[in-house]
Amino acid sequence: MIRPIYVYGSEVLRAKAAEADLSDKDGLTGLITDLKDTLARADGCGLAAPQIGVSLRVLIVDGTVMGDVYDYLKDFRRTMINPAIVEESAGKCEYDEGCLSVPGVYCPVTRPEKITVEYFNEDFEKVTEVFERFACRMVQHEMSHLDGVLFTDLVAPIRKKIIAKKLQNISRGKVSAHYDTKLK
């Protein structure tokens, strides 16, 4: 089912998401289906459960939409339940980020260039995986949502001043997107 995407100013985006109960396989499978359907409608490359109003540690990333730009992403899709970064590189890289919950805003964000993540996949199998390049960026961005952190929190102070009016408008419901949004 396609759900509305909660936008900047919504409380659910600022809460630390709870661990998902792995014994609730039917509930998690339904949530994952809703995340996939909603992401496909929105044409994004990642979506975390809090973005559809569910404060659980579940996310999906889909790099296939970037496959024409980054060939190594043409088959990259991941579902992550209860992901945790267990290692990150000292090296950092900067890249412009955007977010379905902050439509029309793009800013450079510095993050580790390589991470190791432990998570459960949609078959409820434990996985440990290393991510680099843009895949690493997508995973970190979505994992930030699980901790109530938006990419706009991570930008330089001067950039925050530049985007302040846009963020204020979004938080007041003045938002334009080609997908359904919600503010609560």
Residues with catalytic roles: 142
Three-class SS of residue 14? helix
On whether the CB atoms of residues 20 and 57 are closer than 8 A, the answer is yes
- The whole-angstrom separation of Cα 95 and Cα 142 is 15
